[in-house]
Every structure is written in C-alpha cells, then in structure tokens.
Amino acid sequence: MQAGQTRYPPTAGTAALRPAIADKAGVAAANVIVATGAKQVLADMFLATLNQGDEVIVPTPYWTSYSDIIALSGGEALLLRCGADAGFKMTPEQLEATITPRTRWVLLNSPSNPTGAVYTAKELAALGAVLARYPHVWIASDEIYDLICYAPFTSFCNACPDLADRTIIINGVSKAHAMTGWRIGWAIAPTELIQAMIAVQGQITSGACSISQAAALEAVTGDQSHITERLDAFRDRRDFVVDALNAIPGFTCSVPDGALYVFPSCEAVLGLRTPDGARLETDTDFCAYVIATTGLAIVPGRAFGLPGHFRLSYAYARASLEDGCARLTRAVQGLA
C-alpha cells in the first residue's frame, strides 16, 4: 500500500503476480487469470462458457458452491453419485455413461472438499482416456488443496497433457497459505478461455484487489517451508479425528488422503431418538441435534449432495478437536 499499489490493477492480474503464477506452472502469462478467490474463477469460467441448459458433470459429493454457481450461470449440474464404497471417486465407466451432446464440462476436485479423496495419476489418466473420445467436453480441475495432500498429488494437466487444450486448472492462496480472507485465486487455461473469462471479470469486479495480489506474490514466490510444517500438523489432526470418530459405536470414517475434512457416515444413528423423544430422520436432523445440544457445528452430507454423512473440518487446534470429538461422542451417547 505504501508503495502505491492501490490503483486499479490490470483485469487479469498484476504485472508481478500473473507472470509469477505462469512461471511456476511453466506456461505463458496469457494462460493465467487472477481472480477474487477460486470461487470467482469458477464463476468467471461458467458465466463465460455455459449456455442455457448446458450440462456440467459434477462427481458427488461436491463442494457446495459448485451447483449454485452452475445454476446461476444457466447450466445444469449433473450430480454423479460417488459413494464411500467407491472411495468417493468417479470411475471412467460412470463418466462415459453420463456424457451427452449437451455436456460442456466435467468438474474434478482432488483433493476433495468434502471427502478428502485424492485421484491417483492412473485414475486421472483413465478418466482422460474417456474424455479424449469426447472433444466437446472441457475439463475443470479444482486443485485448491494440492499442497494439503498426504498421498502423492497429481495435477490433471500432468496426468493428461494431451487434453491441455481443453483443461482449466484452478488454484489459489486460500488453503495452502491460510489466506482465505485475502481472496486471491487463479486459473491456468488456454488463452481463448482466459480471454473470455477476462471479459466477464472486467464487468463484474475489474479484477482482484491489488493489495491482496501483492501479498499473494510473496505467498507464491517466497519461502514455502510453512507448507510442510502445516502438513505435518494437519496429518496428526486428521489421524486424531479419524480415530476418535471410528471409536464412536456405529460410526465409520475412512482416512482421507488430502484437504482438511473428514466425511463419515452417520447412518447408524438415523432412526434413533434424542433425549427429548424426537426421531432423527436425516443427516440434517442429526447435525441440528448435535449443535443444539453441544454447540458443535458439523455440516450435513446433504449440503454436498450425499445424505447420510456429515462433514467435519479439522483445521482447528488440537485442544478444540479433542473438545469437539468429546462433544460429538456425548451427543451420540444421548441417543436411544
């Protein structure tokens, strides 16, 4: 701010940040757009490309905002159920069976919010082999949790370089650098798509905040040692929470390979009664009961398109997690 970087920045990103992101990704600056968070990248992209009724394949459970951004852009989200039995991942057969002439995009998110599922290089290549047969379908890969991954991470563009001319990679500083409030995200894509997104963004925000872009430049180009330190801490917290949840009778929680969430089933408690005599019919009832009786906020699976589960974030201090898991255990013990 003191250096005067407080004027309108170029719509696609500052002269410093845009090429820095491009350099890291090994592409030209013209292949990059900086936006007000990854969320605005998604909005730019869908507003720029969807016509009324165009379809977007969304492996489900999915991050809540996807379906609403698609709907706001006039598109139709095709929610493809990928349950716990499938590791919460889409198979090539499922993908192929869902593609229609109206399919415009398939939207991948690995590591996933809410499940933490991570696609291997082989799994991405198998999806890519299907997509190679459908040139009208573009691929959006939301990789915002790439640096919060306990298994080897593969970017879709590395697994399927032949599809680069119809792939967009989405990322940002919110998660890896704990900069959620700075609101900086970006996309790497073919220039034609970037141009269309710049046209949308230019009329909606004029580009991302110049001050936040200066801060994001430091995050992207500066010392990265905090990433490893945080990853170790998150792994410990993940393991603690998974063990605590699996210790609750009837609960099953798989170990996620990435992101900051666990997505256990709560089907075992559905049908039980609360101390007040109310019957828990749905995951939403369960989450409402937990917050009302213990003050612990967990999110129903329904919000992510997969009822019968709930999402719990472990991006908290260890003491809070211990307290939270104890509250959850107490709440479940109160059911009959």
For residue 138, list its beta bridge partners: 105
Q: At what angle do helices 210-221 and 17-25 cross, to 10 degrees?
A: 30
Structure tokens at 229: 């330190």
Nearest to ligand PLP of 63, 251 (CB atom): 63
CB of 277 to ligand PLP, least distance (A): 37
With CB under 6 A as the contact rule, the residue among 73, 110, 141, 174 that binds ligand PLP is: 174
Which of 9, 59, 61, 185 lies at the binding interface for ligand PLP (CB under 6 A)? 185
- In angstroms, give the least distance from the CB of 144 to ligand PLP: 5
Residue 223 to residue 15: CA distance in whole angstroms: 21
Residue with token string 């905090």: 226
Tokens of 11: 């719509």
Among 49, 67, 109, 274, binds ligand PLP (CB under 6 A): 109
The residue with its CB nearest to ligand PLP is: 37
Classify burial at 229, counting beta carbons within 10 Å of its beta carbon; exposed 0-12, middle 13-18, buried 19 or more.
Answer: exposed
Question: Which of 49, 103, 113, 155 is in the footprint of ligand PLP by CB under 6 A?
Answer: 113
Closer residue to ligand PLP, CB minimum distance, 44 or 142: 142
Could you write out the DSSP letters of every residue in 92-128?
HHHHHHH--TTEEEEEEESS-TTT-----HHHHHHHH
Report the residue number, 38 or 290, with the smaller CB distance to ligand PLP.
38
For ligand PLP, the binding residue among 180, 203, 228, 333 (CB under 6 A) is 180
Question: Which residues 128-167 are close enough to bind ligand PLP by CB under 6 A?
Answer: 142, 144
Residues 30-59 that bind ligand PLP (CB under 6 A): 37-39
Closest distance to ligand PLP from the beta carbon of 181 (Å): 9
* C-alpha distance from residue 62 to each of 164, 218, 252, 302 (Å): 23, 31, 20, 10
Q: Is 88 in the site for ligand PLP (CB under 6 A)?
A: no
CA 34 – CA 187 distance, rounded (Å): 7
Nearest to ligand PLP of 38, 242 (CB atom): 38
CA distance 298 to 253: 14
**Please, which residue, 154 or 294, has the CB nearer to ligand PLP?**
154
Count helices and strands (H / E) in the chain.
11, 10
Contact (CB, 8 A) for 201 and 207: yes
Kindly tell me which residue out of 172, 258, 301, 308 binds ligand PLP, with binding defined by CB under 6 A: 172
CA 144/CA 131 separation, integer angstroms: 22
Identify which of residues 248 and 309 has a Cβ nearer to ligand PLP in the complex: 309
Rg for the chain (alpha carbons), in Å?
A: 21
CA distances from 79 to 4, 55, 105, 204 (A): 46, 10, 12, 28
Q: Based on CB atoms, which residue is closest to ligand PLP, 70 or 269?
A: 70
Instruction: Give contact residues for ligand PLP (rule: CB under 6 A).
Output: 37-39, 63, 109, 113, 142, 144, 172, 174, 180, 185
